[in-house]
Amino acid sequence: MTNLLTSELVTAVSAVRLAARICQSVQRQIRPDVLEKQDKSPVTIADFASQAAVCRTLRKVFAEDAIVGEEDSAELKSPENAGFLDRIRSELAAVGLEADGEEICRWIDQGAGLPGPRFWTLDPIDGTKGFVRGEQYAISLALLINNRIELAVLGCPNLPLSGGVDCSKSGEGTLMYAIRGAGAFSVPISGDSFSPLEGVPVRTRSCADWSEAVLCESVESGHSSHSQSAEIAHGLGIRNEPVRLDSQAKYAVVARGDADAYLRLPTRKGYREKIWDHAGGVLVVEEAGGKVTDVTGQPLNFGCGRELAENRGVIVSSGPLHQSLIAAMQAAGV
């Protein structure tokens, strides 16, 4: 592992691990009736607390760096949400971050920055429905310099370190990280210290025949067209059932060879993906040997602000079969 960006990597891993501890704590407290009532309160608490923890950790070391996150504290400042802020304060205190409500809101709002020559982009909880269900979700953090992803950390608290997606076998969970040109690596998501030398290299699978390939896609059909995915899979001769899981954990399973491709197909005209929904996973897959483009085969352009405004959809693969996947999508009229 190169020494370039080592300080950034160590800080980012520490931030994501801290956020993961918060998210795991909140997820353990979710009662069965929360899902039945579609109660979003646990997600709200974990989302804001996760962003506060990451922003506070980053800004202590890299005070000049902008952070482009998903949240701001505006809704927490209304009197009717005082209970949420108290719960957020409690979760932060449990991991050693003591602060009052005003300071917590400042931490959260540090993530409301704008893209610049050097900035971080953060999704404090990617896969909120998976989080509520007790299934897969991710904490995604990436550093961009001159609109190019240079460093990524992808924390998947419920993704088993040994492989597969069975949450009951999650154990310590998985954290993947990558620095451009230095490869992708995996470590347990828990831990009090970190050295880049302890990571286990992650590589995509060399699948040469689509008949043996495994696709992964979103659980929610509103996030990606399941019907088009099925049509594409049929056209390619894929025999295996798709693996469905939430969040950027899909990038992680492609990166380590549990799946061969991830399709994020457009579900409505004009929709553009947010940069924080992909930046962390993109570099991990690419440094593991895979390929990421939009549905037309164009590289993702992270230089258009908070959205991938020049791209449509996202296609992730282990690499060798990427062009045939693009051709199959064109044949399906995607």
Active site residues: 47, 128
The b-or-e profile of 161-193 (16+ CB within 10 A means b, else e) is beeebebeebeebbbbbbbbebbbbbbebeeee
Nearest Cα neighbor of 174 from 137, 203, 204 is 137
Integer Cα distance of 109 and 95 in angstroms: 20
CB 97 within 8 A of CB 53: yes
Q: At residue 235, what are phi and psi to the nearest 5 degrees?
A: -65, -30
Q: Where are the alpha helices (DSSP H) in the chain?
A: 6-28, 32-36, 41-61, 82-94, 101-109, 128-133, 226-236, 249-255, 279-287, 322-331
| Tokens coding 292 | 């990421």
The burial of 223, by beta-carbon neighbours within 10 Å (0-12 exposed, 13-18 middle, 19 or more buried), is given as middle
d(CA 203, CA 328): 25
CA distance 26 to 16: 15
Rounded CA separation 55/281 (Å): 19
DSSP 85-154: HHHHHHHHHHTT----HHHHHHHHHTTB----SEEEEEEEEE-HHHHHHTS--EEEEEEEETTEEEEEEE
Nearest to 137 by CA among 54, 221, 20: 20
Q: Residue 21: left (phi > 0), alpha (psi -120 to 50), or beta? A: alpha
Structure tokens of 304? Answer: 């258009």
